Every structure is written in C-alpha cells, then in structure tokens.
Chain A
Amino acid sequence: MSSILRLENVIKKYDKHIAVNDVSFEIPKGCIFGLLGPNGAGKTSLIRIITSITRADQGTVYLDGEKLNSKHPYQIGYMPEERGLYKKMKTGEHLMYLAQLRGLSKKKALSEINYWFEKFDIESWWGKRVEELSKGMQQKIQFISTVIHRPKLLILDEPFSGLDPLNTNLIKDEIAELKSNGTSIVFSTHRMEQVEEICEKIVLINQGKNVLEGSVKDVKNQFKENLFQIEYEGTLPADISDKFQLLKFDENKIVVKLEAEKKSNELLMYLLQEGVYVHAFNEILPSLNEVFIRQVGG
C-alpha cells in the first residue's frame, strides 16, 4: 500500500530548543493513524509542519508521493486542539468562507454545506451566529469546516476533548465513514483507550524523537511480558509455583508469567495433565497506556 504521508528526517528548531529531532515515519493510505506523545513532545510542531503552517528546518515531507507544496493545504483538513471560529459570523457564511478559502467554488461549497447540515439535521443553524451556538454545536460546525473540502488527509488534534458522549459517538461514526471513503486520518491524542479503539497504526513521539512506531498490535506484542491468565475449576497442582512464576492467585483465576524460552502450550499441557479444568486461557497484552507510560516515563 502506498503512503499518504511520509516524513523523512524532519528537524525543527526554535531558538535553542529542538522541537522535532530527526523524525521519520510513514502513514499508509486509508489508515487511521495515531500520533501520540506527552505534552510538549513535539506533536503540534509536527502537525504544523505537515499542514504547511511552518516549514521544517531539515528533512522532507511527502504528501501522496509529492513533496509538500502550495497545493497541499487544499488536500488537508486540520482541526486544532484549541478550536476557534469567528464568533460574530453567521454559521452558514462562516462555513462558506472557509470552504472558499480551501478552493471550493461557491456552488460546490453551498452543496457541501447543505449536505452536512442535512446530515447533522441542523439546517436551521445557517443564519445563527456562532456565538449563539452551544459549545457542542460549535464543535460540530468546527468538524464540518474541517472536512468540507473533502480532504485526502484529515488531521484531528484531540477531536473528542470537550464533547459529550453523544457527540463523541457522532464524530466517531463520521471518522469511520470518512475512512471507508478512502480518507486517511491522523489522530493526535494522549487518550490511549481511544487510540486502541480507533487507530490501526501509531507513532509515539517523545522529546522530539519518534521512540515507537508500528501497528497497534505489533506495538503491544513488542511490549508483552508473557503474561497469561487462566480461569479454571478444580485444584491446582501443588508444585505449580516451582515450575511457573505465579503473579496473581485468585479463586479460580491465576496470572502466570512465562519465561522467555517457555511456550504457552507447555503451561496449558501441564495444567491439563494435572487434571485442571481450564475454562479460559488468554495472554495479557499490555495496554497502550502501559506502553506509553513505560516509554515516556521510564
């Protein structure tokens, strides 16, 4: 699969501070990609480079195989973490303005706005000033304004912050639909449970460097500690703690850490041979949250 975005050795310095230090990664087309990192890691600096707000001091960024150029802002939709709209403008005019700035004709912009207004069932908002809308309503408008020009690449910085569960689901569904229509999505956040739920691939940035990259599954596997959880009935063999390292012991539930050379089948076979009824046997993979904390904090 070809990539929608490729960064090669990107460096960005402010004064003496190095915000982005030799970062390279690639985002495949049609993928939901998590750009992760603690506060101040350089995520926003990276996004600003990708969106042509600033330029990299060194390194190259390719969008859809082409070096970043002045046409590209039209193909990117960016929703910053700190949302903002012109408060005094009427909702419809505001969307029209942003759509036209992104190269849509008036007619096309109008049909797109109507499409979204119908979809979200908010036709009556056209003539309302932005400041008259509630915060959640404004977020919807913000989202529409981000995708109105049907970008190839969508960059969402903490898209769910400040949203109620209803709107969160609404936006999640939209993201899924956009993805199924071929839009590639960069999703920047530090809410790891959302990343696990939504993203296929991630890159973890810390202190301006990428410290971790890959599919969510691979990353979890990379950090797994060979922990297995077994639910059972019957009595455990007495010598189990001699053969295996028992981490947790609850009634009918144990967690075992296998040494690197041992296979999970050995454990399972041992239990079966000793006459233990095994109900469930599964590996405990680290959550992204744990990976994150281990990588960033440790």
Chain B
Amino acid sequence: MNKLWLIIKREYLTRVKKRSFIIATVLTPLAFALFFIVVGFIFAYDSDESLRVAFVDPGQILDPKKGLKSEKDNSLHFLRRTESLDILKQQVMEGKYDGILVLPTIKDLYKKEDVIYYYSDKQVSLNANLAITNRVSKVIRDYKVRTLNLDQKELDALKSDLVFDPVPISSDKVDESSNASIVAVGIGGFMGVIMYMTVFIYGMMVMRSVMEEKTSRIVEVMISTVKPFQLMMGKIIGVGAVGLTQVLIWAIILPITLIIIQLIFGFDPQALQNASPSGAMAPDVDDMQYILADVSNELASQNWLLIIPLFIFYFLGGYFLYASMFAAVGSAMGDDLGEGQALTIPITIPVVLAFYIMFAAVQAPHSKLAVWSSMFPLFSPIVMPARLAFDPPMWQIILSASILAATSIFFVWLSARIYRVGILMYGKKVSFRELGKWIFYRD
C-alpha cells in the first residue's frame, strides 16, 4: 500500500509541477474568457455599423405622424425625403446617404407579396437587410389595418402566446416547468461531453506514460521492486487525480474570470443574445429573465444528491475501465508508435460511439437505444450520466451501475494481466491474438 502511495504521489506531482500543466490549467479558462471577450467585441462591432438611409414614400403608406425609426435600434437612420430618385442617387454618390429605400405603393390590399427597392452601391449586410424588411413589413401592416378599418384590439386578440407545461399524473412526481426538458438536455449533454473528454484526454495520458516507461527501460528497475499491478494502478490513479485537479481548478477559475471580465468590460453573456440580428428574433428581456429564473429553479430542483454521486461514480467507473485498457495497449506498444496506433482503435471506437449515442439519448432518454446503451458498460459511463437528469427508473440506474462496477474491476484485472507481460516484451510485433495469449501467461 505504501509503495502504491509513493507511485501515485510521483505520478501526480511530476505532472502537476510541470510548467506545461500549470500553463494549460491557468490559461485554458483565460483563453475561454478571452474567447467571450472577443465574441462580445465582434457582436458589439457589428451593431456599430450605422446606415443613413433616405426613404421615399410615393404611395403614402406611412402614417404621417410616425417615422420609420424604431426606438430599439440606433444603427439605422431613416430620413424621409421628397426629392426625386435621381437627385437622391446623386446625393448617395456624394456620400450624404448610404442608400435609398423606396417604400412600395399598395394598390391591391389583398396582395401578399411585394418588393421594396433599395438603391446603393454598397453591399447590404444581412443585419441591415433584415432590419429594413422588418420595418417596412410593419409599415405595410399598419397601412392595411388603417385602410381596411380593422380594429387594432381585435387584431391583437388573434395573437396567443402559448406555454407548454407537462403535468405528471402520479402524485409523487414533482410538477416540472416547461423548461425542465431543456435543462435536462443541458445537464445531460454537459455531463456526457465532460465524460467523453476526460476519458479520452487522461486515458491517452496513461497510455503515453506507460509507453515512455517501457521505452526508457525504467520499467524493469521499477518492477524489480514493485508489482506491475501496483505500478499500473499507481499510474492510473495518479493521472486520474491530475485530471480531477485540473477540472476542479477550472471549476473555480472559470466563474471568477467571467465575473472579473463582466466587472471590467461591463459585458455580460446575455448581450450575446440581444445582439442577434436586429433584435427582432430575440425574446424580450423580460422573457429572458423569466426563462433564466425558471432554468435556475429547474437546476435547483434537480436531485443533485443523487446526480452528483452517480456522476462521480460513472466518472470513476468509466475512467478506470478505459484508462486500464489504454495502459494495457501502451504496454504492448514498442518504440514504434505508428505500429501500435492500430491497437488503440478498438478502444476509441466505443468511446466515439458512446458520444454519439449520448446525443440521441438526451433527445429520447427513455428510448430502447438509450436504455440498452446505458446498460452496456463501454457506453454507460458516457450515456447514463447524460440520462440522469431525466429521472431514469431506479432499477436501471442500479443495474447499469452494477454492470459497470463489475466490468471495470474485470477490465482492470484483465489489463493488468496484459500489462505485466507487455512491459517486458520488446521487439515483438503485437497482435490482438498475442494480447489474448498474454492474459493466460503465468507470472
């Protein structure tokens, strides 16, 4: 036990003390933050684009009391002009305006399609295009309402805002809000991605480290003092601890940096939403706040006491399962990386498959595919955490967790059998048949 501890300590400390680790751990959240800032600036820059548009209204469709400008948008300036088109064109050429908008003349009130002409030599941005079309479409609508003598109140009554609210039948179920499934998809997807990344990054790290030990020949010195199993487990646990450390540091640094950025730049991620084209598609600020409140309610009402321990369980199960396989493959590889690459394919395929199944599973968490994949131990570490927010039946959780636990232990044992032979085997081209044989070698 003492030796195992020494090995874990070394594996952990040599990695954590490395400059590259410190840089990656600190810089990744900063890079993330930088990304937000840059994206924020890009959006801010885009809405800076301002256009001075002269418009003429030959059909007199615009309510004389109103202008074309809306209070929400200050990037577009509409100026009513009565000069002829030719004069205006001349003025555009002189740089007085950016373009000329000609409002349509409505002859047939029941005609639905129409064309608005915009004269300019400049390319019109998509934003401006949408904004102008939106304004004019409103103007036409108002004109039609006025001319047809329709009652504005009656028209407003035709619009209905609907909220989809699922209500459970059994009394023991909590009534969830309409955003429950979106929140669950979010949590599930997030967990699935984290699992996928950690299994891959740290599993690969274990494999590389085993290979290095073998090619640098230190391994023979090591296993004359410690058991190969101790060496392998020490490495897997040590690297796993490095992974946890990194994730924890990110979990602390990332929110702090975001808060700092918000304080310094006064930029908040919600601005991203509001900055979307012309603001017309984004929900009202009030709506956003309502949804945010609802989402945070949903988040708070999740059964975290079950989800977090289970997530950690699946993380450990999946990590040990895959990291041990990576260790076994690493032990079988020689100096020739290219030759050994083929051996990693059977490990990476299930991980990638599980990743895709995870996306299907968050959309249909109780489908046959989702249920059976969360039983299959090579998929379950990624698929099951993604389903947890959808309240899967308890028997499924227990069954899946038990299968995973048993399989992890079995795979660690199996990999250790391969590992102990592999690390001492040089210059032999290794096939899967060969790996299979190693399992049955005696010590």
Identify which of A88, A97, A146 contacts B6 (C-beta below 8 A): A97
| Chain A residues whose CB sits within 8 angstroms of the CB of B216 once the complex forms | 84-87
Fill in one digit per residue for B402-440: 1 if any A CB lies within 8 Å of its CB, else 0.
000000000000000000000010000000000001000
Contact present for A80 and B424 (CB under 8 Å): no
A166-190 CB contacts (< 8 Å) to partner B:
none
- Identify the stretch in A21-29, A50-58, A234-242, A266-274 within 8 Å (CB) of chain B at 4 or more residues: A50-58
Interface size class, chain A: 20 to 34
Given A54-B443, A55-B442, also A101-B225 (CB < 8 A): yes
CA distance A258 to B218 in the complex (A): 53
Identify which of A14, A53, A55 contacts B224 (C-beta below 8 A): A53
Min CB–CB distance A150 → chain B (angstroms): 14
B1-36 CB contacts (< 8 Å) to partner A:
3, 6-7, 10, 14, 18
Q: Is B441 in the interface zone, CB < 8 Å from A?
A: yes
| Chain A residues whose CB sits within 8 angstroms of the CB of B217 once the complex forms | 80, 82-84
**Chain B binding site: helix, strand, loop or mixed by DSSP?**
helix
Contact present for A84 and B218 (CB under 8 Å): yes
Identify which of A80, A82, A101, A145 contacts B3 (C-beta below 8 A): A101
Q: Is B219 in the interface zone, CB < 8 Å from A?
A: yes
| Chain A residues whose CB sits within 8 angstroms of the CB of B7 once the complex forms | 101
Nearest residue, chain B, Cβ from A76: B224
| Chain B residues whose CB sits within 8 angstroms of the CB of A220 once the complex forms | none
A71-96 CB contacts (< 8 Å) to partner B:
73-74, 76, 78-80, 82-89
| Chain A residues whose CB sits within 8 angstroms of the CB of B73 once the complex forms | none
Given A54-B443, A57-B442, A89-B14, also A73-B225 (CB < 8 A): yes
| Chain A residues whose CB sits within 8 angstroms of the CB of B213 once the complex forms | 86
Q: Is A108 in the interface zone, CB < 8 Å from B?
A: no
Given A14-B441, A55-B443, also A97-B221 (CB < 8 A): no
| Chain B residues whose CB sits within 8 angstroms of the CB of A84 once the complex forms | 216-221
Q: Is B223 in the interface zone, CB < 8 Å from A?
A: yes
**B interface residues, tally (CB under 8 Å):** 23
Nearest residue, chain B, Cβ from A51: B224
| Chain B residues whose CB sits within 8 angstroms of the CB of A97 once the complex forms | 6, 10
| Chain A residues whose CB sits within 8 angstroms of the CB of B3 once the complex forms | 101
Fill in one digit per residue for A115-149: 1 if any B CB lies within 8 Å of its CB, else 0.
00000000000000000000000000000011000
Q: Is A100 in the interface zone, CB < 8 Å from B?
A: yes
Q: Is B226 in the interface zone, CB < 8 Å from A?
A: yes
Q: Is A253 in the interface zone, CB < 8 Å from B?
A: no
CA distance A14 to B443 in the complex (A): 10
Contact present for B220 and A53 (CB under 8 Å): yes
CA distance A26 to B186 in the complex (A): 70
CA distance A85 to B218 in the complex (A): 5
Q: Is A15 in the interface zone, CB < 8 Å from B?
A: yes
Min CB–CB distance B430 → chain A (angstroms): 14
Nearest residue, chain B, Cβ from A142: B221
Min CB–CB distance B160 → chain A (angstroms): 67
Contact present for B224 and A100 (CB under 8 Å): no
CA distance A14 to B7 in the complex (A): 29
| Chain B residues whose CB sits within 8 angstroms of the CB of A257 once the complex forms | none
Nearest residue, chain B, Cβ from A83: B217
Q: Is A98 in the interface zone, CB < 8 Å from B?
A: yes
CA distance A282 to B441 in the complex (A): 54
| Chain B residues whose CB sits within 8 angstroms of the CB of A51 once the complex forms | 224
B219-235 CB contacts (< 8 Å) to partner A:
219-226
Q: Which of A53, A80, A89 has the most CB of B within 10 A?
A: A53
Min CB–CB distance A209 → chain B (angstroms): 21
| Chain B residues whose CB sits within 8 angstroms of the CB of A87 once the complex forms | 216
Contact present for B221 and A80 (CB under 8 Å): yes
Contact present for B224 and A73 (CB under 8 Å): yes
Contact present for B218 and A100 (CB under 8 Å): no
CA distance A74 to B226 in the complex (A): 10
Min CB–CB distance A210 → chain B (angstroms): 22
Identify which of A53, A54, A86, A98 contacts B14 (C-beta below 8 A): A86
CA distance A97 to B7 in the complex (A): 9
Contact present for B424 and A53 (CB under 8 Å): yes
CA distance A53 to B220 in the complex (A): 8
CA distance A48 to B222 in the complex (A): 12
| Chain A residues whose CB sits within 8 angstroms of the CB of B222 once the complex forms | 101
Given A48-B424, A85-B216, A89-B14, also A78-B443 (CB < 8 A): no
Nearest residue, chain A, Cβ from B7: A101
Contact present for B218 and A86 (CB under 8 Å): yes
Min CB–CB distance A77 → chain B (angstroms): 9
CA distance A14 to B14 in the complex (A): 36
Min CB–CB distance A5 → chain B (angstroms): 15
CA distance A101 to B220 in the complex (A): 14
CA distance A257 to B10 in the complex (A): 64
B303-317 CB contacts (< 8 Å) to partner A:
none
B226-256 CB contacts (< 8 Å) to partner A:
226
Contact present for B443 and A98 (CB under 8 Å): no
Given A48-B424, A82-B217, also A15-B225 (CB < 8 A): no
Min CB–CB distance B237 → chain A (angstroms): 16
Nearest residue, chain A, Cβ from B218: A84
| Chain B residues whose CB sits within 8 angstroms of the CB of A14 once the complex forms | 441
| Chain A residues whose CB sits within 8 angstroms of the CB of B219 once the complex forms | 84
Min CB–CB distance B176 → chain A (angstroms): 52
Given A48-B424, A54-B443, also A78-B221 (CB < 8 A): yes
Min CB–CB distance A207 → chain B (angstroms): 20
CA distance A235 to B224 in the complex (A): 64
CA distance A145 to B403 in the complex (A): 44
Contact present for B221 and A52 (CB under 8 Å): no
CA distance A87 to B6 in the complex (A): 18
Contact present for A80 and B226 (CB under 8 Å): no
Nearest residue, chain B, Cβ from A101: B225
CA distance A88 to B18 in the complex (A): 9
Min CB–CB distance A44 → chain B (angstroms): 9
Min CB–CB distance B82 → chain A (angstroms): 79
List 9 A-B residue pairs with CB atoms under 8 Å apart, sorted by A's residue number: A53-B224, A55-B442, A83-B217, A84-B221, A86-B218, A87-B216, A89-B14, A98-B225, A102-B225
- Known contacts A79-B221, A86-B14, A146-B221; 6 further A-B pairs (Cβ under 8 A): A80-B220, A80-B224, A86-B216, A97-B10, A101-B3, A101-B226
- Top 9 nearest A-B pairs by Cβ distance? A84-B217, A84-B218, A82-B217, A51-B224, A55-B443, A80-B220, A84-B216, A78-B224, A101-B225
